Structure 1
Amino acid sequence: MNSFISKLALVYCLSQMSFGYAEESLTAQQIINKSNLASYYAGNDGRAQARMVIVDGKGQKQIRQFTILRKDIEDLGDQQMMVFFSRPTDVKGTVFRVNKKINSDDERWLYLPALDLVKRISAGDKRTSFVGSNFYYEDVSGRNPQEDNLTLLTSNEDNKHYLLKGQPKSPESVEFSYYQAKIDKKTFMPVNVVYFDQTGSKLREMKVLKMKNVQGHPTVVHSRIHQFSDNSYTDLQFRGVAYDVGLPSTVFTERSLRTVPKKWLK
């Protein structure tokens, strides 16, 4: 009996060693790919109601409410996204449209109903404020991992997260010098991302405040971005999240900027 127990213990130890080896053998690029897959490509498409609370350095608040629709062309590949604003009155009817491209710059447009104007957002503006919040346009649709040189760092904090360092390949195109991303080893969801300047001072921080499982997919339902320069922050909360809802490609066209596909926003 003791011999049998010893053998079981040995097998268990070897399996744990093998698991640890497989886990640690992942490269930084493999980790970020898994993270992007979990964060932005859950299901073949998705829909969510969002509430954004913008708080300036003096504690004054603004609210934004909108619906996000997303459809994948290919996992870790091209993707389509529409964001329809419903509140407050001054942004109601505004629509943000994205054609996410992996091998070229994303295409982004903003429809302004008061002017009946479709405004093309240039690649150089992707890291500017999204409708007055601390989120950037690029935060909403996701940063292309091909734009950064990635390094897997070691951390003594815990054994539940990967710690990655990303340095932009084109430093002149962004406001940060590098970032560090903490990624959950089980779900591969990024739970914390901090952006630094050249002196190592913090510029911005993204922190996940709440996650839940939706249709088998780990899903962020509350996150916050904090701007250190003025101590402002924006909370982003999601409800009614659903995946694989069967969104047709016709939803993600220029026509939907002016003619809202109400059927898919409920």
Structure 2
Amino acid sequence: MSILTTNRLTKSYGEFKAVTDVNLDVQPNTLHAVIGPNGAGKTTLFHCLTGVQRLTSGRILFDNKEISKLGPEKRSSLGMSRSFQVTSLFLEMTVRENLQIAALGVSSIDGFRFWSSSASTVKKTAAAVDYALETTGFENRAETIAGDLSHGQQRMLEVGMALAQQPKLILLDEPTSGMGVDDIPMISDLVRRLTKDITVLLIEHNMGIVLEISDKITVMQLGQILVEGTPNQIKNDQRVREAYLGGETEDA
């Protein structure tokens, strides 16, 4: 059974259709990538899926529940989490404190009382924070100030904050954005490993990463799905080669 499906998802701004009739089918514990050039509608699609923007028409089912009219907080409570293209951390706080805030929920007043010695607060967040620290490899940097981390490590921490919400589905918006070549394998390996426990829906411009770690790829163009398939199918699709790979193919 699919964990996320959309039926003719459409988002319009007046006469302009940013996303038109998009039908997604995301399977549990897979890495599903969404690619396409700037203006293809990828970020608008993510905004609609997470409730940041309201659909113009269509339906969204998450974990077999209709969520088309739910707000971001409710979708998060159902098990949907997201990281953004622009890093958004509490830079003067430690890695652990950032994860604690995420675990409690930034919209909740309790999320800003992480310093409390309350046993109930500690119990509520400890398991989620420990899971995020272990998964991202930050166990030995838990007390490091986030602002002292490298850019690549900050991107990893942002993924960790999404994980601290203990989601069933995590949506990652260009997690390698702005990262140096040496840091990219670190986060691509993390993203691939996440599917052991959860489902990943990924926007990424780095085609090499997408082809290497994805189970399924959806290619968008002008707000619509151009083609969809496995990495090998996408790499060898004539339309995709012409639009995104320069018309050349590589050995499988």
TM-score by length of structure 2 reads 0.33
- TM normalised by structure 1 equals 0.31
Comparing both structures, which one devotes a greater share of its residues to strand?
1
RCO comparison, higher one (Cα < 8 Å, 6+): 2
- Give 1 or 2: higher helix fraction: 2
Computing the radius of gyration over CA atoms, which structure comes out larger, 1 or 2? 1
